[in-house]
Amino acid sequence: MSEKLEKARTYEAKEEQKIAEELRPLFHLTPRCGWMNDPNGFSIYKGKYHLFYQYYPYETVWGPMHWGHAESEDLITWKYLPCAIAPDEEYDGAGCFSGSAIEMEDGKQLLVYTGVRKEEDEDGHIREIQTQCVAVGDGINYEKYGNNPVIEADALPEGAGRFDFRDPKVWKENGKYYIVVGNKTEDKDGQILQFESEDGIKWTFDKVVIKNNHRFGVMWECPDYFPLDGKQLLLTSPQDMLPEELEFHNGNGTLCVIGSLNENGDFCEENCQAIDYGIDYYAPQTILTADGRRVMIGWMQNWDTCGIRRDDFPWFGQMSIPREISLHNNKLIQKPVREIENYYGKRISRQNVLISDSASLSSIEGRCIDMTVNVRSKDADLSYKKFEIRFADNGKAYSTIEYDPEQNIVKIDRKHSGSRRAIVHQRRCRVEGNKGEITLRLILDRYSMELFINGGEQVMSMGIYTDIKAEGISFKAVGELLMDVTMYELEKKN
């Protein structure tokens, strides 16, 4: 074990003990200490779920990237494992960037990641050189391959850039290993490259999977590529996006490209959409569970909102709740993993409640809940103009979900949640017109909100850092509507 890795493991084990349980979410994974960003190596190894993550243990800001590590038996409760890899070699001394993991035939776990080193050019400019590297281990300890990097600039196709070449996602198919890697071309456009290998160690270039053609942002990060419900999906996170209506927003976003493979195995696009329409979601990665579900997890943060933080927190960054994904009418459907139901506590239900101004319902409150609300017009004609859910409310701080049935727009808003920063606090998305009827499922943890609209047709996520004693929930209508609400309190299981 290198000195850097041993230092990180000693430090995180000590610092973890200082973090009070109530300072963490109940069931969203946070870093063991310090900083977290992208999920890495989301995989199944020896029957357990493993999740690695971009990690800087020493401060709650981005630093030289390590790989944090946790495991779970049910995707909800996570157990920390020791830091997996540290930037301790010449080829990755500036950071062990994002990547993925897979169980090999010999029972070992293979990690594929981007190693970063800095190089000074002839003009004195410092550039980051990004290459692909591997490490092999037993689920706790990993040894980097002696001949890393395994993919360098000389393996890139014509026009591919050598400075932005990162985030390999690995899978095995027909006895071969494959990875897709994000790349920025020399003319500053995103593309996804595919490489193949017989053993997971020695790789050769296979094909360009897809080119951005200057449509969605610039660099395409953190790709994932897999079959789903008879189609082929590519997930990626474009940087520096321009807005398009209410589908895509400025900055760093998420993109799902739905398509199919032709007779030559080439990817043919059919539909493009956002993955998450909220404020905080990036770099999702998926696994295929033993029972055949495709499950996705993402970093519930946005690079442009990292200024929203609690100074008293010894961690920064959290993962989303894992989501089961499927396709319906060639569009992405997302639902919280069904394992969340094993954490249900008290159930409270109210049916056919008439809302005609502002209303609080007895026992409908809390900061760790799974609540489904269905609202509909009281009459055949539209009987209301706006519906609002206010939550994490203590009379001064609160956050809201609003639905405009005339415009068919849902808005999330955290500007009153306690933040002192003028950063992104609102997002809107357009939903299917349902004559004033909508179903909103709200997963609320201590420091986050994830909203699943109309059975998961769209999802909106955001972090909130309001004091956890703010538990009030209320409903408001402009006009009159009928509402059903079912709420489960969420509890940790011993």
Count H helices and E strands in the chain, helices first: 1, 33
Q: How many angstroms separate the CA atoms of 188 and 163, rounded? A: 11
Long-range residue pairs from 407-413, CB within 8 A, at least 24 positions apart, any chain: 408/432, 408/433, 408/434, 409/246, 410/438, 410/440, 410/451, 410/453, 410/458, 410/460, 412/278, 412/279, 412/449, 412/451, 412/460, 412/462
Question: Which residue in the list 38, 224, 276, 393 is annotated as catalytic?
Answer: 38
Could you tell me the two tokens for 415?
A: 């500007």
Contact residues for 388 (Cβ-Cβ < 8 A; gap 6+): 400, 401, 402, 403, 475, 476, 477
Nearest to 177 by CA among 145, 134, 220, 148: 134
Strand partners, 115: 96, 131
Could you tell me the two tokens for 469?
A: 């004693």
**What is the strand order of the sheet 203-211 is part of?**
160-173, 176-185, 190-197, 203-211
Nearest to 254 by CA among 279, 230, 289, 229: 279
Q: How far is CA 438 from CA 187, 329, 375, 403, in A?
A: 44, 19, 6, 9
Helix then strand then coil, % of the chain, to nearest 5: 5, 55, 40
**What is the strand order of the sheet 255-261 is part of?**
220-228, 231-238, 255-261, 267-273
* Cβ count near 378 (within 10 Å): 17
Q: How many angstroms separate the CA atoms of 92 and 108, rounded? A: 22
Contact between 334 and 452 (Cβ < 8 Å): yes
- Is 467 annotated in the active site? no
Q: How many angstroms separate the CA atoms of 393 and 467, rounded? A: 9
* Cβ count near 429 (within 10 Å): 23
Catalytic residues: 38
